[in-house]
């Protein structure tokens, strides 16, 4: 007959399970502090819903029919919820990447990128 190893008493296993579940319950409880933010009409800033920018082949950026500088584009994008970018077909992608990096820095909610057929 083979000798069986003594794996422990059932009370030892129950004790280990109790310790295990006590540790898990301590991990699950969060130590966060709830913060209640007051809403005020004076703290709200007006936001433009949509800005449509067109990147021309020479790298200039149009807002409507007006050419915009990159510094003013950054300020416009900061106040926008959504930015739509239209890129002319033969535009260098470096111009597109430059504009996308400005959008990323301004933490815009969303943007779309479209290739123009013209």
Angle 56-58-64 (CA atoms, 0-180°, nearest 5)? Answer: 30
Residue 54's nearest CA partner among 79, 89, 82 is 89
- pLDDT tens string 54-103: 888 888 888 888 888 877 888 888 777 888 888 888 888 888 888 888 88
**Which pTM was predicted?**
0.54
- pLDDT tens string 92-115: 888 888 888 888 887 777 878 888
- Alpha-carbon gap, residue 61 to 64, rounded angstroms: 10
CB 81 within 8 A of CB 50: yes
């Amino acid at each position: 007959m083979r000798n069986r190893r003594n794996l422990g008493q059932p009370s030892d296993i129950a004790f280990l399970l109790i310790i295990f579940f006590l540790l898990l319950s301590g991990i699950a409880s969060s130590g966060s502090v709830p913060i209640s933010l007051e809403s005020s009409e004076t703290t709200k800033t007006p936001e433009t819903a949509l800005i449509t920018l067109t990147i021309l082949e020479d790298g200039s950026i149009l807002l409507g029919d007006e050419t915009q500088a990159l510094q003013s584009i950054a300020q416009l994008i900061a106040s926008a919820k959504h930015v739509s970018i239209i890129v002319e077909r033969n535009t260098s992608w470096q111009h597109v990447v430059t504009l996308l990096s400005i959008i990323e820095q301004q933490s815009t909610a969303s943007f779309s990128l479209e290739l123009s057929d013209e």
